[in-house]
Copies of this chain bind each other. A is one copy, B any other.
Amino acid sequence: MVLDPLIKVAALVGGVGGAKLAYGLSKILSPDQLTLIGNVGDDLDLYGLHISPDLDTVMYTLADRANPVTGWGLDGDTWAMFDMLRCYGEDPWFRLGDRDLATHLLRTQWLAQGMTLTAVTERLTLGLGMRHPLRPVTDDRLATMVETEEYGPLGFQEYFVRHQWKPTVRRVWFEGAERARPTPEVATALREARILIVCPSNPVLSIAPILAVPGVRELIENRKGTCVAVSPFIGGQAVKGPAAKLMGEMGLDISVHGLIRTYDGLLDGLIIDYTDRDQLQAGESIRVRVTQTLMQTADDKIRLARECLEWVGSW
């Protein structure tokens, strides 16, 4: 047994990279033991649909339904609706798969009926047979915004998808964060989590919006437990996505030490890839473990999750 089944674990998770570690964790820990806390900062309204890309990526990944090539979207999905939009002269910049649409239609309908995003997400995950609780950090609206040199302020998906994270980023902020509150489910999960894992997601775009919800950071800091992150960088670069480029543009240090500073006192430990081991110095301020963090196969995901839990469990 990797971990005493009475020890509760929570994980902060963004999109594709984070979902891979969450997948590994879900294969080791029971649904009673593990709660996933998801980012909603990249949610968007498109064609009247409420789309939660990060929640969907985690859900599809843990339900073994994710597209294995892209990491997002549903395996074997088709694009008939998307292509048809073009017949109507639309120029859609956000790809919506046909199967994927069922998720968005149901979420939108249930939200309109007054269900919380938490309740909607629970119903969707159960429907897909995902057994571990996936909790949006908040049921309130919170939008990750990106100030770019070329286009001024952009919504996250406009920056990320429409402009393919090409614009130069000056600043990131979270619209609505000051009025958002963590859900009761998230507050309980954070309070009870002896181990909190920060998945290898973009620290600025995926994890920061979770931490930006007032009360979340306090809940993490005030609980009795440890916090460990898995670095999203390999060889000083993001595996995919804009993390390194964007942090560089914002003047953030993307080294191991920069990452520790970005999480600003939150971490007790950090797992980094062996390609980044040269960055380590004697007398690091927190525990650092070096291993292979690239997760390509299911086995990679489970192995890294196990190593992470065993390491923290041994402290």
Contact = CB atoms under 8 A, between A and B. Distances in A.
Given A81-B81, A84-B99, A47 B106 contact: yes
Given A87-B102, A101-B101, A47 B109 contact: yes
Interface SS majority for chain A? helix
Contact of A47 (B80, B105, B128): B105
Contact of A88 (B90, B98, B124): B124
A112 interface: yes
Nearest to A113: B48
A85 B105 CA distance: 9
A99 B82 CA distance: 8
Contact of A81 (B48, B87, B98, B112): B98
B48 A112 contact: yes
A128 B87 CA distance: 6
Given A78-B98, A105-B81, A89 B48 contact: no
A239 to B, nearest CB: 29
B87 A127 contact: yes
Contacts of A109: 47-48
Interface string A94-105: 000111111101
A113 to B, nearest CB: 9
A49 interface: yes
Nearest to A45: B109
A77 interface: yes
A108 interface: yes
Nearest to A124: B88
Contacts of A87: 102, 127-128
Contact of A80 (B49, B78, B85): B78
A24 to B, nearest CB: 24
A84 B83 CA distance: 19
Contacts of A74: 84
Interface in A106-141: 106, 108-109, 112, 123-124, 127-128
22 contacts: A47-B106, A48-B108, A48-B109, A49-B105, A77-B80, A78-B80, A80-B98, A80-B99, A81-B102, A81-B105, A84-B99, A84-B100, A84-B102, A85-B106, A87-B127, A88-B103, A88-B124, A88-B128, A89-B127, A90-B106, A98-B98, A101-B101
Interface of A: 47-49, 74, 77-78, 80-85, 87-90, 97-103, 105-106, 108-109, 112, 123-124, 127-128
